[in-house]
Structure 1
């Protein structure tokens, strides 16, 4: 992989765009083939049932979540380790206020189509797509969020894309959180990309919850666009999968309006907090951001890196697009 060395982060050597090779099946190959052939028709059936019928029926939030858990259950995605900062194991039921709810934002890692299904099954959010150079977001359906994880990286929204402000979505859906994939494109889970400025456009006093999802085995991540076949094989051929979910304490946006925030640099983090993370500010999209907004994005990025036990990297959507072109040429030879 030396020919792709330019797509490793210079500081850490992390390569966030490389597909994770699966473990060899070895003598377990017959079992893996059987599981794949048995589960594939079931997965197709439950997915078609939900996306073509059930989601349009008046079955309520609980009915839809139960249907989504059926989708997660087909490949045995039951083993989930959920931890919330500041909450002891076994006490989560009494600390529901530490989880995302209406009028809040989920800043999630983005590595796999499973991310969207799990978030929908737990929090029922409104999904959005972010772009590096705009504060606005594109609203997505659950299916759109799943397909987004297989899509090629895009620096700018395609022509005709309808963009909205996060404030509009929070006002339109007051009872549901808004899920933002602020890295703008998928990774293999080994690093956190610079975050989109879309998070900085959240209204004053909005709670933002960084959430990290990691998988064992990590070969169910989709850092390379269009890897439908390999993803399905890795997902359905293994006996079970383990999901590690970490939720950080929320961080609130400034109490000032966007216009007031641009006219002053006080009111979000104090100077000590801001200076402690100044080394990583260069990894964030900083154009047209004031001090408070930079501190907000930096705090969320550091939280995602801490939760996922990884590092932030300086590679972004542009580098991912260059990698995809180089990877595609390499595979064609």
Structure 2
């Protein structure tokens, strides 16, 4: 849409914030009839799946085992090595002694379904990132789901204690908590590209052997309605999105994990190999620059782009806040912060102030 062209990445031409809309296709009379019948069946299907979730008393079950399928695979970026060999190496590496700072999981963020998958698979500690202060705080799984698609908080609300990433990792490790989930983009995208990372890893080195860094990439395959959730305020909006996702006949989530020996926490990892890539449209062997003084974050983003085969953009969390300001105003006539407060969602005063200054 031309009205949203301001948030189209100049380098890739990708718009990473708009909810995906399927392309219009010419259909025959038979296809039109089948489509009409599916419009009757899909709401029933969606309601049935939600009822199953209520019976088993967990939303997680329906998203992991009910509405579609999940494919999890270990990926190696080294030529000549099989996925089986990479998986074997990962299993061996998983048996090593605990790192002094613990374990983190860095992944792209596209939906509340990502949160459910991570909770089901790893039982981790979820975090919320504040770009203005480059700090994080612990949040519950339900809070992480609520934050998906909501207006991003750029600074912590008054009275909320936050910590630099390294301090948070050390404290969590001392308390014996599980792996720490870092959604380094700071907000959700529509799964068509990767957003610029918030520079949380500036004080880390390469390789960073004090922490076990797991790099995951989420990608969705679906029929017409996309499970990604980039715009939505409050539980009512999320429940409506859940229902439409459940109403589809087919959804598949593919999760790709980088092999353990190729992660930047491996002692043999080099910054040069981490920044060298062959993204679409660029020549083989291109070495990319460090972004915002965050060498480790740039490496992780680059590796994530390679295992996900998603392009990297120059857009980030602040661009998402600007986009939501415009998107909500355009579609409802009210500001994004007002829409968030009305729905009971999340929007900090700092975010609203920052948005006004940008306007």
CA distance 1:169–1:26, shift in 2 (3 Å)? farther
CA contact (8 A) 2:193 2:311 kept: yes
What is the CA–CA distance in structure 1 between the aligned matches of 2:61 and 2:109, rounded to whole Å?
20
CA contact (8 A) 2:50 2:243 kept: no
> Which residue in the other structure is 2:216 paired with?
211
What is the CA–CA distance in structure 1 between the aligned matches of 2:90 and 2:265, rounded to whole Å?
22
Q: Tell me, which stretches of 5 or more residues in structure 1 are unaligned? A: 51-66, 256-266
> Which residue in the other structure is 2:185 paired with?
183
Q: Does 1:80 align with 2:70?
A: yes
- Measured against aligned partners, the alpha-carbon deviations of 1:283-320 in whole angstroms (never above 9, x if no partner) come to x3x1xx4xxxx321111111121222111111111111
> Which residue in the other structure is 1:167 paired with?
169
- Measured against aligned partners, the alpha-carbon deviations of 1:146-167 in whole angstroms (never above 9, x if no partner) come to 1111321222222222213332
Q: Secondary structure at the match of 1:137?
A: strand
> Which residue in the other structure is 2:41 paired with?
31
CA distance 1:121–1:96, shift in 2 (3 Å)? farther
CA contact (8 A) 2:274 2:299 kept: no
CA distance 1:116–1:173, shift in 2 (3 Å)? farther
What is the CA–CA distance in structure 2 between the aligned matches of 1:6 and 1:182, rounded to whole Å?
23
What is the CA–CA distance in structure 2 between the aligned matches of 1:254 and 1:82, rounded to whole Å?
22
> Which residue in the other structure is 2:199 paired with?
197
Following TM superposition, by how much is the alpha carbon of 1:216 offset from its aligned partner in structure 2, in angstroms? 1.3
- Measured against aligned partners, the alpha-carbon deviations of 1:1-54 in whole angstroms (never above 9, x if no partner) come to 1011010000111100000126895431121011122222333454xx45xxxx
CA contact (8 A) 1:125 1:177 kept: yes
CA contact (8 A) 1:128 1:179 kept: yes
CA contact (8 A) 1:110 1:181 kept: yes
What is the CA–CA distance in structure 1 between the aligned matches of 2:257 and 2:51, rounded to whole Å?
34
> Which residue in the other structure is 1:43 paired with?
53
Following TM superposition, by how much is the alpha carbon of 1:125 offset from its aligned partner in structure 2, in angstroms? 1.1
CA contact (8 A) 1:219 1:234 kept: no
- Measured against aligned partners, the alpha-carbon deviations of 1:137-190 in whole angstroms (never above 9, x if no partner) come to 110111111111132122222222221333234424546211101100000011
CA contact (8 A) 1:132 1:195 kept: no
Q: Secondary structure at the match of 1:84?
A: strand
What is the CA–CA distance in structure 1 between the aligned matches of 2:243 and 2:214, rounded to whole Å?
32
TM-score (norm 1): 0.76
What is the CA–CA distance in structure 1 between the aligned matches of 2:269 and 2:133, rounded to whole Å?
22
Following TM superposition, by how much is the alpha carbon of 1:246 offset from its aligned partner in structure 2, in angstroms? 0.3
> Which residue in the other structure is 2:156 paired with?
157
> Which residue in the other structure is 1:55 paired with?
none
Following TM superposition, by how much is the alpha carbon of 1:234 offset from its aligned partner in structure 2, in angstroms? 2.6
TM-score (norm 2): 0.71
Q: Once structures 1 and 2 are overlaid, which stretch shifts more, 152-161 or 182-191? A: 152-161
CA distance 1:115–1:3, shift in 2 (3 Å)? same
Total equivalences in the alignment: 293
CA contact (8 A) 1:112 1:220 kept: yes
What is the CA–CA distance in structure 1 between the aligned matches of 2:160 and 2:95, rounded to whole Å?
27
Q: How does 1:263-274 map to 2 (within 5 A)?
A: 269-270=270-271
- Measured against aligned partners, the alpha-carbon deviations of 1:41-73 in whole angstroms (never above 9, x if no partner) come to 333454xx45xxxxxxxxxxxxxxxx9445533
What is the CA–CA distance in structure 2 between the aligned matches of 1:272 and 1:120, rounded to whole Å?
31
What is the CA–CA distance in structure 1 between the aligned matches of 2:251 and 2:273, rounded to whole Å?
41
> Which residue in the other structure is 1:9 paired with?
9
> Which residue in the other structure is 1:147 paired with?
146
- Measured against aligned partners, the alpha-carbon deviations of 1:174-218 in whole angstroms (never above 9, x if no partner) come to 462111011000000111111122244567521211101111127
Q: Tell me, which stretches of 5 or more residues in structure 2 are unaligned? A: 25-34, 77-81, 277-284, 334-359
